[in-house]
Structure 1
Amino acid sequence: MLEAHHYLGSGPLCGAQLRYLVRSEHYGWIGGLSYSACARRVESRDEWIGWTEEARKRNHTFVINNSRYLIAPTVRVKCLASHVLAKCQTRLVDDGERVYKYRPVLLETYVERGRFSGSCYRAANWKYVGGTEGRGRKGTGATVKDVYVMPLQKKWQAVLCCCADGKVHVRQRVAQKEPRDWIEAELGGTKLGDARLTSRLLEMTGMFYDKPLANIPQACGSVSATKAAYRFLDNENVDWKAILQAHYEATEERVKENSLVLVAQDTTTLNYSTHPNTQGLGPIGTKSKKVRGLMVHDTMAFTESGTPLGLLNVQCWARDGIGSKHERHKKPIEEKESWKWVESYHAVSQVQKRCRNKSLLVVVADREADIHEVFAEQYNTPDGAQLLIRAERSRNRTVVDDKESCEFLWTKLEQQPVIGTREILIPPSEKRSARQAILMVRTVPVTLRPPMLKKNMPAVRVWAVLAQEVNPPIGIDGLEWMLLTTVAVKHEKDAYERLEWYARRWGIECYHRIIKSGCRVESRQLESARRLCNALAIDMIIAWRIHYLTTLGQETPDVPCTVYFSDSEWKALTTFANKVKEPPDLPPSLNDAVRLLGKLGGHLGRRGDGHPGSEVLWRGMSRLADIEVAYELYTT
């Protein structure tokens, strides 16, 4: 079975080995697992264990590698893969002792990035401890893999770190040197299989960040640097998912610093129709428009006040074609684009589990996410993230009460009394101007029924909040939000708070404008979708950084600007903008620095102009990069 269906075949395996076949009463033989001796040296694993060189040589046999795992591709049962893993590891300890006369203490496995996500291991409570360096037995050039481990007993470290003197010696972690700038702090741990590729990534990110409006040759500044950038984007060991993985990990650290984190999901399209020679694109929009490009579904974490903490999940793909509605109904949810919402929720839930004692994560999404599978996933993941989703009226959702009577969701809410009114700011968009809207609010707990064709799914208890605009401007449709949340709404202030949470979702739409207009990702001229995705990963991190500055300056205006700007940046900025020869002795506040940067980008700073926006800030950053170079030449 492994030989026929596993991409690595059934072997060869090294050292002590155990093999299992998986059989179901209903499906017959459905899968197989192989275990073998562990890898001798893996830096991320050894550091996590705390192995000294002596302890590693003495005790490495107690670590068993799950070297092959397969569920037959014809079998599709939810949670089956993680269930089989859990069942197998309960047998593994006794079988290891029976066959090899010792009891395994720790399991390890290696998941190839770009090919698999490792979701079944995470669901089975395996722990991610880092990545490999991309070096195999034959040297560099091997694929980079994620490393997962699973302790098989509580005192595993006492066994694995025991030395010849009978004492436990745990290696102290090497102190990490201070990163030289935010780029190294964010991406310095990227695993691309070769340290030179990581260095090139940091260099390219710096060049793209200094000139966010420039194309690749303009940003690189020389023929040699441009050629190196194109080689990097085309390198088979460079994977956009690996680039973003380092950013995800940095985002998670920022998430842990906040007790409440709002995680917005949204989908956008990237139009590359002006580049007809680019390979690997797919249709976007309708058949009649014949527009080609890429689909991007991203998930960004925000503080309660709206400061973006970074991305937690990105999915990027090219459509094979635009199918008919009839064809889509025949497909299982895992094969539909709608699965993106479930996959993203699952990624956020993994972060929630790791932050369970520090942060509450609430996934916020628009009407497209109003599919029962998302609510069912949350229902089946009690320790996962919470949900706040705007309902789609055309879905005609129905709810049931304690007496099993059924009625439409909107009918149920419109029968409830108004608990109060709330004023909310509606930000500007391409189709509307900014305005203050007064909303009348109703709320009630409801139980969502699964759709008729999905009766096997659970009914889900949620709180519904209906907000309808009072006296909207003439000629403008009034705002109406039907919000469904798994976070309890027990009081009037809770309902108002959920409205404010949902309003933060606009932050991800602003982020998409920065990606397209600020980083100009749709102007990238590359030969393949894979190269575009590699460049997009860099641009998405830069766009987050610009968005972060825009909101941070408003949220914490009085902190020193050194929380964002380097010493050379703020000194160059203040001397140039204020037309003085020497910078001040102390750094200005973040608010003052942001306004000076906005001034470089064309922000006039008049009383009614408000805070500098993303567009003028990224223009200002393009100028600041050159000003900083001139300042350093002048002062050295």
Structure 2
Amino acid sequence: MSQSTSLEQEDWASTELQHLGIKCGRTIKRFIQTVSTLTQNLGKSLAGASRDSAEAKAMYRLLDNEQITEEVVLQAHRKATLGHMKAQGESIILAVQDTTTVNYTSLQQTEGLGDIGGAIGNRGLIVHSSLAVRPNGIALGLLDQMIWTRKPEERGKRNDRSPRPIEEKESYKWLKSMDNSSAGIPEGIRLVHVGDREADVYEFFDHALASEQEFLVRVVQNRLTLEADKLFDGVKQEPSCGQIVVEIPRDTRRNLPEREATLDIRYGRAQVKAPANLPNKWLNSRSASLSIVYVRELNPPAGVEPIAWYLVTSLAVESLEEAVEKINWYMQRWKIERFHYILKSGCAIEKLQNRTAERLQKLILIYSLISVRILGMTYLARQLPEACCTLYLEEEEWKVLYCIAHRTSTAPPTPPTIQTAVLCLAKLGGFLGRKGDGDPGVKVLWRGLNELHTVLKHRRYTSF
């Protein structure tokens, strides 16, 4: 019997995890059931998500099962992500990398947690993810995820300027995730690794160029070049090639609303020197040929720090159109911020309680898969509103959702569009849908999904 046919139902979890590398069909079935249960009970503890104590015990046993490893689960999901990438027909896919910390300081009895920075005594886990995103902003899935702990004695080493090899530094995560993300990419697709200021690491550029990988990074270091000027000084002397108006996403960390910004654009190319304290044995080249795009905001709102981005890329930038393309790609980096927001606020991973860090790591990965699904659904409704909702909702889900939204007991024979379904879900989650409210966000969507699943659970015991 095949792995997929051994399952009782083909929900999203069984489809997404059909390549789970486990020989035991019973364990596969239990794991997929666990993922489905957690999907339907976002923000709840394992005990709260379970139907009864027996299911809760089964979940805890599953987390201790040696066959269920992070590697096995991630590889199954990654195969599904590669399939999604291939199905899109895109020649470019963005691999957006970023790091977040998960705070478990209150779990004093939990074994295996480490230092996460901030206040002394903060304990938790560090999560670095690489998210596959289409250039139009639709998230397709995870390409890589690494979860680890930092020893307390490592605190302060980031300020150590001694010439240690990159493999001994935490910043090695950027290179490692680049290689992990690039493995097995379908033919005809170019992966562009996108990072924020933390990815401004010379070894990252050097490794990418040596291994013929593409990248786009916002840099903060005004590095020396083989030309007469430093990197930033040189591009500032280039003539303006034009201006564009863009929508700047909401910044939840600084509590800034979404806004329009007029950006002036300049671009150039430079041969960036390697830092003098990096020995040759750790580098492929002592200089890196990079394109740079300088983006400066004109007339920012009062009290708002103007945008000033320096974007470097391995790709050629020889026209306004190519510069704008790179700016648009960089703006998709916010999708991983939304991913972290869903993971922490929607899935409430920092409220999880377990005796070991190993269990928590497995749960974080499971909730990461759920978070990517919510993220993808949100932006598919914006970018491809006429797509069918069955890409994300099962038949029972969309039919019940339709009946709730239209106050009827009869669902139509054909499913609604993803835009219609997402709007209905968002209204269940508290979205008012007024003229000036814009598109529904991830918060009202996860709330709506929780409400829908509450109705579905009730429906299984009573007539709808």
TM bucket, shorter chain: over 0.9
**Other structure's SS at 1:269 match:** strand
Instruction: State yes or no: 1:339 paired with 2:165.
Output: no
Instruction: State yes or no: 1:554 paired with 2:382.
Output: yes
Is there any run of 5+ residues in structure 2 with no aligned partner, and where?
none
Instruction: State yes or no: 1:588 paired with 2:412.
Output: no
**Other structure's SS at 1:389 match:** strand
| Match runs of 1:365-514 below 5 Å | 365-382=195-212, 385-392=213-220, 395-401=221-227, 406-430=228-252, 431=254, 432-454=256-278, 456=280, 457=283, 458=285, 459-514=287-342
Is there any run of 5+ residues in structure 1 with no aligned partner, and where?
1-173
- Pick closer, same or farther for the CA change 1:324–1:375 going to 2, 3 Å: closer
Q: CA deviation at 1:193?
A: 4.9
| Match runs of 1:292-311 below 5 Å | 292-311=123-142
Instruction: State yes or no: 1:608 paired with 2:436.
Output: yes
Letter in 1 for 2:25: A
- Pick closer, same or farther for the CA change 1:522–1:182 going to 2, 3 Å: same
Cα shift readout 1:522-543 (whole Å, capped 9, x = no counterpart): 1110001101011111111011
Q: CA deviation at 1:577?
A: 2.2
Q: CA deviation at 1:347?
A: 1.6
Letter in 1 for 2:225: V
Aligned-pair identity (%): 35
Q: CA deviation at 1:418?
A: 0.8
Structure 2 length-normalised TM: 0.93
Instruction: Report the Cα distance in structure 2 between the residues aligned to 1:207 and 1:616, rounded to whole angstroms.
Output: 20
| Match runs of 1:114-263 below 5 Å | 180-256=10-86, 257=88, 258-263=90-95
- Pick closer, same or farther for the CA change 1:611–1:337 going to 2, 3 Å: same
- What is the root-mean-square deviation of aligned Cα atoms in Å? 2.0
Q: CA deviation at 1:609?
A: 1.6
Letter in 2 for 1:199: K
| Match runs of 1:274-285 below 5 Å | 274-285=106-117
| Contact 2:388–2:416 (CA under 8 A) maintained in structure 1 | yes
- Pick closer, same or farther for the CA change 1:599–1:326 going to 2, 3 Å: closer
Letter in 2 for 1:265: Q
Cα shift readout 1:99-136 (whole Å, capped 9, x = no counterpart): xxxxxxxxxxxxxxxxxxxxxxxxxxxxxxxxxxxxxx
Instruction: Report the Cα distance in structure 2 between the residues aligned to 1:195 and 1:534, rounded to whole angstroms.
Output: 19
- Pick closer, same or farther for the CA change 1:626–1:326 going to 2, 3 Å: closer
| Contact 2:3–2:25 (CA under 8 A) maintained in structure 1 | no
Q: CA deviation at 1:328?
A: 6.0
| Contact 2:19–2:79 (CA under 8 A) maintained in structure 1 | no
**Which has the greater radius of gyration?**
1
Aligned positions, number: 452
Instruction: Report the Cα distance in structure 1 between the residues aligned to 2:126 and 2:365, rounded to whole angstroms.
Output: 13
Instruction: Report the Cα distance in structure 2 between the residues aligned to 1:622 and 1:462, rounded to whole angstroms.
Output: 47
Letter in 1 for 2:445: L
Letter in 2 for 1:292: R
Structure 1 length-normalised TM: 0.68
| Contact 1:573–1:596 (CA under 8 A) maintained in structure 2 | yes
Cα shift readout 1:407-441 (whole Å, capped 9, x = no counterpart): 21111111111111111111112312221111111
| Contact 1:370–1:389 (CA under 8 A) maintained in structure 2 | yes
Instruction: Report the Cα distance in structure 2 between the residues aligned to 1:610 and 1:440, rounded to whole angstroms.
Output: 26
**Other structure's SS at 2:229 match:** strand
- Pick closer, same or farther for the CA change 1:513–1:583 going to 2, 3 Å: same
Q: CA deviation at 1:462?
A: 1.4
Q: CA deviation at 1:327?
A: 4.6
Letter in 2 for 1:342: L
Letter in 1 for 2:74: L
Higher mean alpha-carbon deviation, 516-525 vs 357-366, is at 357-366
Letter in 2 for 1:205: V
Letter in 1 for 2:61: R
Q: CA deviation at 1:235?
A: 2.2
Instruction: State yes or no: 1:563 paired with 2:426.
Output: no
Q: CA deviation at 1:291?
A: 1.0
Letter in 1 for 2:34: M
Instruction: Report the Cα distance in structure 2 between the residues aligned to 1:211 and 1:175, rounded to whole angstroms.
Output: 26
Cα shift readout 1:495-532 (whole Å, capped 9, x = no counterpart): 01110110000000010000000101111100011010
